[in-house]
Structure 1
Amino acid sequence: MSLLDLTVRNVKRNFRLYSIYLFSMITGVIIQFTFSSLMFNEDIMNALQNRANFQTGVAISSVVVFVFIIFFILYANSFFMKQRKKEFGMYLLYGLSERQITMMVFYETLIISTISLFTGVLLGGLLSKLFGMLLLRLMQYEQVISLSFPVEAIASTAGLFFLLAVIISVQSYIMVNRVQLMELFHAKQKSEKPVRISVLMAMLSLLLLVMAFALISSGKGSVYWQDYSKWSLISVTIGIIGGTYLFFRQFAGWLLQRLSRSRTYHEGNTVLWTSSLRFQIRGNTLNLTFISLFSAAIMMLMCFMTINYKVQFDAVGRNLPNDLAFQSLDNETNTRIDGIIKSSKHEVTFHLTQEGLGVSPVTDLHAIVENPEYYTADILLVSEHTYNELVAMRGDGESVELSGDEAVGLAQGSDFPKVYASDNRPDFVVKTDTEMVFKLAEIKDYAYLGWASDPVTSMLYKPAVLVISDDAYVQLSGKSSVVRKSFEIYGLSNARNADALSKEIHAIVTQTPDAYYSSFADVYSKQIESSSLMLFASGFLALIAVFALASIIYFKQLREATDEKLQYSILRKIGVDSQQMKTVIRKQLLFVFLPPLLLGVTYSWFIIKYYILDSVQGYSGLTGMVWGIMGVYFLIYLLLYLSSSKLYYKIVSENP
């Protein structure tokens, strides 16, 4: 019998063991092919405004997904190799070399990869239309997607999975070559040893977790993160990782130890489900720690990307509040531009010509904005009347009332807007021919002009703006050292699709060096397309991550249930019925499933709440959306728990 014949027979005989492996490979091919095919679908390319950015994003997403698939498949292969050590020992005993066993594994991988590639490409091609429509729907484009099987996508997917087959073979060779023959035969007879429990280490785990949660909940505006951000980050990292590890290594063991010393320990079935757990702590610690942190990462990824997508539609409007705005030029050019705009397909809803005064700040810009490097070095002073006129056109209720030396700083995107008490207003000094002091009444998260933009490079810089009272404006406008600046501000219908108009106007305005220009359309398509792609990619990454997590749990329960078949056989012989066995299994697995889920949800909620939601408080419905994502994850985890309990019972019920 040749190695190939032996390989085919072996796959058929171990089909149950390989079914989850095969399914995971098919899932990997579907996702990899889907991302690859997106880059070569002409219907999608024709609908996009920024093809190059999209192709780059898809390529990066494909690499990230494939790297994730590699690690997952290598983990699965490692599990299979450990399960088959006795089988490999028999092959070595019969005279096969490590090289021949590796070739057999390589043939197996090729067979599975071929089946996965054919099935995955077929299903991926059929689903690519649905995925493409979903992606364009996220981008709010109405484009018909045709069914396609791009040759380039098939070739790249096949090449990557052939590379994966080679990597798996190298891993298998290393694993087979590193163990001895007697170890292969006795691989499954090694039993876990109980961990030595330290009350001090158990309490340390809780202390580390409390420290991490306290630092996170202090918020990024606290002194810990403002003045000691590096050490706070290190402390949180140590607290979460170290605390989680010690929680499962020591605290869980201490809790089980306390249960074993209770008076009711031998009543009911407590002794049955706790006894095996005490011996599994050593082997489960890393898995449970990984599951907790991995669960938190999955939920944070989906929450962050969904929030990012959700706020982009409003955020672009906040960053660039004017549909079209540019610095006034000469009368002839202004009239020409006005004619182009009015002759376009975008109806003009309003047009304002507004004036401001350019002055130099004496006070550091940090007093009114958080990131001065994004702003112009000079300050634009806008009168209360001028500012309120534009706010009324926008209809967003951000008007101000000022008198005397009062001023309002505009810091769009600020995480820390402020309203100062009348007796505690900081000074802000500007310089004309003399210095003039203003009292800051408020730092407002709002934009008057918004980012200067470019149709190619998007956002460039922000004009620094200070709104002052009408009286102060009149007083300053008479000084010879101030620079008067006028701006043409337009409101347009369907501004999000004004890309072509923006390019035409931008080409005219930028003929004047350093002239300010801003267009909503320059940023909208780029932001929405990029955020939609990130949400789309993260959704698939989360999907395969959840599947990988489910597989890890499946592999772990499969191994532990197989190892405990003899113990459960003995329980049946001494009179433990099926219902009691199911109850024992559920309690035992609940102790394994519930703590990682609770820790993962808690980690993700604290980080999302205090470092994302608190920064986007002006957007409604985000908190409910976050809890919805966590609820879906909880439901998936519940299904994993129920299916694992059923699988565990099925395995231990078989004759050993």
Structure 2
Amino acid sequence: MNFYQLATKNVLRNLRSYLGFYFSSSFAVMVFYMFAMFVFHPTVESSTIGKVAQSGMKVAEWIIYLFSIFFVLYSVRAFMRTRKKEFGVLLIMGISQRQLNLLLTTENMIIGVGSIVSGIVGGTILAKMFFAVGAYMIEMREPLTLYLPWKAMGLTAGVFLPLFFVISRILLLFIRTEKIAAFLQGSTKSRRATKPSVALSLLGSALFSISYLIMFLTPLNDVVIILLLLIILSGIYFFFNQISVWPLYLLKKNNNTYLKGVSLLTTTDLANRLKDNTRLLSIVTVISTVAFVTTGVLATDQSDEIVELVENAIFEIDYYSIEGNEKEAEHLELIKSTLQESGFDYDLKIMDIGVAMTYENFIGFVPIRVISERELKKHLPDHDIPTLDDNEGVLYLDYWNARWNQAIPEVLNLLDSSKTVKVQQVKQDTLFNDRLLVVNDQTFKQFREDLVEATMYGFTYPNWKESLDEIERLLLKVEQNAPSYDNEYYIYSKTFDYFIISQVPSLHLFICLFVVVVFCFAAGSFLYFRVFTDLQDESEKYKALFKIGLTEREMRKSMTLQLAILFFLPFLVAAILTICVMVILWKYEVWDAIGPTLKTIAGFMVLQLLGFTIVRQLYLKKMMELIDTESW
């Protein structure tokens, strides 16, 4: 048997331990590869919504990749711990440090290459379904056909091969620092039950209380959010390291319960496991919380209200031209010719308006279009406007402000002017595609010298939802500007806004679901690796207990209870933290996502139960093989 055959046999011999790592890595590679196939698809590159999808999927790809770095590093290091005795034996038998390094690198590269190959094969098989679901969710008109994704294959192999190799080499640094005696000792830890600290437990409870008070009492900004994250992460750590141990410690004081059945064994083991695995349980909790919050928010249908507001806007195209705009005639001719050549019969209304800078909201000072009551009724005679006194106005919000219910001042101050307008009424429905302030004729005349004079050209035409392709080309030619106070022109398209608003939330949900599934798969894998890392030590303990009378049924009961708490305690903490976050979002009227989030948590609970059932079955089977009760 040569050296490379030895590496292959080592992988096969440890296949059960490697299996979880292999499948998790393959899954991450597969999702990365399918996103890459979508990004490089020729049809996606040729459409506007496809380019939006490309941007989102590129971000998701690299999130998965960065997470994979951490995941692979943790997983491979966990495997190395389980094989310390094996390394010690090899060193005693004369293997050199260089040969040991080569052996481990070869083994890890076998698993890595296998994960990449199976991930690419699996992604290719599922590509058609992935394309169909993706195109449906973002309402792409052209179907996404299969193609030969050389770029996607090259990118996937190009980023994951170095990842497996580099991490293999990094782990060798930890091995070189170990002595042979430490290798032979293996991963055994001397465990000693300790009383949890009252001070640290109180500190952990205080951190959670402080974070909750900050969320409710302090306006959120970047600094506050970062501070909150640090406080919550610290609180999670102290919860698993100290607070969660208290019920087990108090249980020991109750002899009637503690000395009954397998309670003594389970309680002692759990207290030690919670302390030993504090960092792991904290990581799993954070990952699960991020998954719950993200999915819960994106599962909330936020677009329906905005879509309705967009549909109710009067004009399909609004073109605002500030006085002195040299491109006005060119742009108007371009809009007209585009609609005519595409077979859309349009009507045009031209209105004299002014532009003013007024109140400040979360994005800065807000430009508002100002129109006189007479001018509005001249072009829209059927529209009802309440009677307005001097210096009074009716404010029509754009659909974004209407949806987010931004606070509107009772009095609007024109910047660089002493003139003010009292807001008599705020209309939550949209009139134009932008914010519009309607004042009476006298007020408009008084304000005219302080307003930037402009003209609004409103185009209406039937079947506007069918004009997306033409509008995309038009906006590219007009070189659309962001709405501003000092732009010479600005163009709004109801068609473009409608499709972006209706499709982008679906796109975000589609992308996020895959990323979240990868995260949750990895969270379950972390726990899988942890319990199998301690498998040999646990089997030795149960062998000794079996000799003194512990039955197989009692062993299974103790193991199941310990696994259940390790799996579901982080899930419970993550669920509670997620609900707290949803309450905060609801308080700030950002999202009412409590209902969808509870459904999301219930869905993940089903997946968690499935994962727990599989891991429990594998764990108990392997443990019983190692204990081999029939041989006693």
Distance 2:604 2:479 in 1: 51
The amino acid of 1:84's aligned partner reads R
* 1:449 to 2:429 alignment: no
8 Å CA contact 1:346, 1:498 repeated in 2: no
8 Å CA contact 1:613, 1:623 repeated in 2: no
What residue number does 2:271 align with?
A: 278
8 Å CA contact 2:348, 2:459 repeated in 1: yes
User: What does residue range 539-550 of structure 1 map to in structure 2 within 5 Å?
Assistant: 539-550=513-524
What residue number does 2:148 align with?
A: 149
- Of residues 366, 373, 382 in structure 2, which corresponds to 1:383? 373
User: What does residue range 595-610 of structure 1 map to in structure 2 within 5 Å?
Assistant: 595-610=569-584
Distance 2:381 2:249 in 1: 67
Task: After superposition, give the CA deviation of every residue in 1:387-410 in whole Å (9 maximum; x if it has no partner).
Answer: 8997988xxxxx774542543445
| Partner SS, residue 498 of structure 1 | helix
What residue number does 2:6 align with?
A: 6
Does the C-alpha gap of structure 1 residues 382 and 644 become closer, same or farther in structure 2, counting only changes over 3 Å? Answer: farther
- Of residues 422, 440, 451 in structure 2, which corresponds to 1:439? 422
| Deviation larger for 113-122 or 400-409 | 400-409
Task: After superposition, give the CA deviation of every residue in 1:52-109 in whole Å (9 maximum; x if it has no partner).
Answer: 5554544443332222222211211101111111111111111111211111122223
What residue number does 1:455 align with?
A: none
Does the C-alpha gap of structure 1 residues 501 and 566 become closer, same or farther in structure 2, counting only changes over 3 Å? Answer: closer
What residue number does 2:465 align with?
A: 495
Deviation of the 1:12 alpha carbon? 2.2
Does the C-alpha gap of structure 1 residues 655 and 623 become closer, same or farther in structure 2, counting only changes over 3 Å? Answer: closer
- Of residues 350, 359, 365 in structure 2, which corresponds to 1:365? 359
Does the C-alpha gap of structure 1 residues 92 and 445 become closer, same or farther in structure 2, counting only changes over 3 Å? Answer: farther
8 Å CA contact 1:406, 1:441 repeated in 2: yes
User: What does residue range 73-472 of structure 1 map to in structure 2 within 5 Å?
Assistant: 73-216=72-215, 218=216, 224-225=218-219, 229=221, 232-233=224-225, 235-264=227-256, 265-307=258-300, 310-312=301-303, 315=306, 318=309, 321=313, 322-327=315-320, 341=339, 344-346=342-344, 352-358=349-355, 365-366=359-360, 369-373=361-365, 375-376=366-367, 380-383=370-373, 386=376, 401=386, 403-404=388-389, 405-410=391-396, 412=398, 413-414=400-401, 415-417=404-406, 426-430=410-414, 436-442=419-425, 447-450=430-433, 465-468=436-439, 472=440
**Unaligned residue ranges in structure 1 (runs of 5+):** 394-398, 420-424, 452-463
Task: After superposition, give the CA deviation of every residue in 1:7-62 in whole Å (9 maximum; x if it has no partner).
Answer: 1222222222222222223223322321222233334445x235655545444433
* 1:641 to 2:596 alignment: no
Distance 1:83 1:588 in 2: 20
* 1:477 to 2:437 alignment: no
Task: After superposition, give the CA deviation of every residue in 1:363-420 in whole Å (9 maximum; x if it has no partner).
Answer: x622xx44334x33x7524539938997988xxxxx774542543445543445458x
Deviation of the 1:212 alpha carbon? 1.6
| Deviation larger for 580-589 or 4-13 | 580-589
- Of residues 548, 552, 555 in structure 2, which corresponds to 1:581? 555
Distance 2:364 2:522 in 1: 44
* 1:68 to 2:67 alignment: yes
Distance 1:118 1:238 in 2: 39
What residue number does 2:490 align with?
A: 516
8 Å CA contact 1:429, 1:438 repeated in 2: yes
Distance 1:332 1:153 in 2: 42
Deviation of the 1:6 alpha carbon? 1.1
8 Å CA contact 1:384, 1:400 repeated in 2: no
Distance 1:52 1:149 in 2: 20
Distance 1:28 1:573 in 2: 44
8 Å CA contact 1:273, 1:584 repeated in 2: yes
Distance 2:211 2:163 in 1: 39
Distance 2:415 2:180 in 1: 85
8 Å CA contact 1:352, 1:490 repeated in 2: yes
Does the C-alpha gap of structure 1 residues 613 and 627 become closer, same or farther in structure 2, counting only changes over 3 Å? Answer: farther
Deviation of the 1:257 alpha carbon? 1.1
Does the C-alpha gap of structure 1 residues 408 and 592 become closer, same or farther in structure 2, counting only changes over 3 Å? Answer: farther
Deviation of the 1:488 alpha carbon? 2.9
The amino acid of 1:383's aligned partner reads E
Deviation of the 1:177 alpha carbon? 0.7
8 Å CA contact 1:316, 1:520 repeated in 2: no
| Partner SS, residue 516 of structure 1 | strand
Does the C-alpha gap of structure 1 residues 260 and 510 become closer, same or farther in structure 2, counting only changes over 3 Å? Answer: closer
Task: After superposition, give the CA deviation of every residue in 1:270-307 in whole Å (9 maximum; x if it has no partner).
Answer: 22311111222321211111111111011222234444
Deviation of the 1:528 alpha carbon? 6.1
Q: Percent identity?
A: 21
Distance 1:289 1:384 in 2: 64
Distance 2:141 2:369 in 1: 43
Distance 2:123 2:52 in 1: 23
Does the C-alpha gap of structure 1 residues 166 and 590 become closer, same or farther in structure 2, counting only changes over 3 Å? Answer: closer
Deviation of the 1:112 alpha carbon? 2.5
Distance 2:74 2:227 in 1: 30
8 Å CA contact 1:351, 1:489 repeated in 2: yes
Deviation of the 1:483 alpha carbon? 6.3
8 Å CA contact 2:349, 2:457 repeated in 1: yes
**Unaligned residue ranges in structure 2 (runs of 5+):** 628-632
Does the C-alpha gap of structure 1 residues 311 and 352 become closer, same or farther in structure 2, counting only changes over 3 Å? Answer: farther
Distance 1:431 1:108 in 2: 69
Compute the RMSD of aligned alpha carbons.
Answer: 3.8
Task: After superposition, give the CA deviation of every residue in 1:118-168 in whole Å (9 maximum; x if it has no partner).
Answer: 332222111112111111111112433333332222222222232123213
Does the C-alpha gap of structure 1 residues 165 and 594 become closer, same or farther in structure 2, counting only changes over 3 Å? Answer: closer
